[in-house]
Amino acid sequence: MKKTVLSALTAAFALGIIAPQASAAPIVEEQEPEIDFQKPAISVRPSRDAQVENELRDLRARIAVLERENDYRNSYDYDSKDDDDWTKKFNLNGEFRYRFWHNKKASSKTSNNRLELRLLPTIQINDNLAIKTRFTGRYNHMEDDSDSDWKMNFAYLEGKFDNFQVNAGKMPFYTDADKGMLADDFFSGVQVKANVEDFDFKVNGGVWDGAADGLRRDYIGAEALYDLNDELKVGAGIHHLQRNGFKANILTVGGDFQLNEDWSVNGAYGHNNKGGNHKDAFNIEADYLGAKRSEEGSWGAYVAYRYVPSTVGLAPTYDTFGTPNKKGFDLGGSYTPMKDTLLKVSYFHGKHFNHNNARTVFARASIFF
């Protein structure tokens, strides 16, 4: 009996131990779930694509605005890439000057004080083209505080190329071959300059109104200059003027010889075959050193004999002449007291072609900028 009970208890205990183990979940090793790569995964990309699309739309709109602004600028020939600073295309030079004349004639004396402001703007269009102008404000008679004016003296388009230059408009009219004995003025028309080795050529064509009688002339002229060597330069020119029965054919020749570092001599001769009783003009001048506006303390002196009728000297450059039809000695000096300043004094002693005495004292003070 006891054995039977013990056997039963043992069997029950065994069952109790085994039962809890049988009721616990079996321990299984974890495995990664299988992924079906053919099936699209769930993500947030659709919302990001929409945001990027909005940003691209805004960027395209801004680009369209910039393109419209660029088209507007180009319609006015404005290129912001090339025009980084407009002041680089504009240059202004000038001169502030005072001039004094005292003239003594046969029975009278006159004095004249003139104050001038000269402005010379240059507008550089590109590497070849530029616009050049000069404006002059003037008090012609400071001695009585009257007679002032302001005007544009010239304006022309300058075209510079490899070996030649073309100017068109109203421009300076200076005769280089005779160093201004014939003219130092302005004319309206076209000018062509060329350089071939040691030769310089110049051709003018247009209208000139600077004659002493105040009448306009149709004008055409040509000059050639040649450098023989470092010491000697020569030149020749032919000038034709006509209108309303007036005709003039003027031939000029000139030369400039550098004697040494200090002395030079220049001379010019002109002939007008329509000049009547005064067909010829000449000038001879000796120069010692010379004041240079860039060199403080530099100075110079000159002496000349001039014989210039109005038939050849249309508008001569000589300060003491005023008007031509004079002959006599001209002498003077110049001095630079400081950089970009210049003082000049001249005296003419001679006669008018009508035999009246001509005495002129001239003085000039200039400040350049």
Digit-coded pLDDT (tens) for 90-128: 999 999 999 999 998 767 889 999 999 999 999 999 999
282: pLDDT strictly greater than 90: yes
Confidence category of residue 84, pLDDT binned at 50, 70, 90: low
pLDDT digits (tens, 9 = 90+) for 225-234: 999 999 999 9
Confidence category of residue 1, pLDDT binned at 50, 70, 90: very low
User: pTM value?
Assistant: 0.76
76: pLDDT strictly greater than 60: no
Among candidates 84, 87, 161, which has minimal Cα distance to 123? 87
Average pLDDT over residues 289-305: 97
Average pLDDT over residues 44-72: 70
Average pLDDT over residues 55-79: 65
Q: What is the pLDDT of residue 308?
A: 97
Q: What is the pLDDT of residue 73?
A: 52
pLDDT digits (tens, 9 = 90+) for 166-207: 999 999 999 999 999 999 999 999 999 999 989 999 999 999
- Residue 91 has, within 13 A of its CA and on its CB side, a CA count of 10
132: pLDDT strictly greater than 60: yes
Average pLDDT over residues 159-163: 94
Q: What is the pLDDT of residue 86?
A: 72
- φ/ψ of residue 11, rounded to 5: -65, -40
